[in-house]
Amino acid sequence: MAPVGPRRGRDDVDGKQKKTVKETSTVHRPTSKASVGAKRGRDDGDGKPKKTVKETSTVHRPPDEKLTDEQIHEYYRQFFRSQGFIVPDYGGRLCGGVGPYSMTDKYRQKLVKDMIQKSLRIYNRKNKVNFEFDKLVSVNAGAVAGLMFYITFNARSGDDAPQTFYSKVWKTFNDYIKVQFCVIGNAQDAGTSQA
């Protein structure tokens, strides 16, 4: 009996194995809005609840969008001038770079708050003062066998005006938190006066 067609996975012409490429695609579904007068979350046709899908989106920069030499120079100028506490938004895109740490969920918020509390405890004990956390100013982070955090925050002692603190904290892979330093002052002096 003669074969009905070529053997599966073989080219029709020469009988050799085909090279196949598996293609994947991402489907972005637009959010639909119910028509005017329709109940929210109901299908306009039958009045039954719609099956909804919680959608999340991630912004991916196109690969051809590269940092310019001027941007890289400006990043390093700001990083070394401020010891990592003041950096451009694109700093995290550089290999080994430091950029803003987004406080997107409760875990991250609690983590930063815990690091600030630990920094203040160490500062208060060393300097025999009693500062209490007032307000978070900014948080930058960079990958170094875990994450190195550069936290700027305000704290006050009693009725005095709030002071600006700079704290460098290392969070290792095994969740050990080590305060490198915590100082009052300005970003330029933060790395040099490790009090």
Domain range annotation of the chain: 100-190
Helix (H, G, I), strand (E, B) or coil at 90: helix
Mean confidence (pLDDT) of the chain: 76
Q: Looking at the domain that runs over 100-190, which CATH code has it been given? A: 3.10.450.10
Between CA 136 and CA 84 the distance in angstroms is: 16
Name the more confident of 106 and 40. Answer: 106
Does 69 have pLDDT greater than 50?
A: yes
**Mean pLDDT calculated for residue range 95-110:** 91
Q: Which of 133, 144, 134, 137 is nearest to 169 (CA)?
A: 144
DSSP state letter for 7: P
Whether 119 contacts 179, CB under 8 Å: yes
Between CA 166 and CA 85 the distance in angstroms is: 8
Among 10-19, 85-94, 147-156, 162-171, whose mean pLDDT is lowest? 10-19
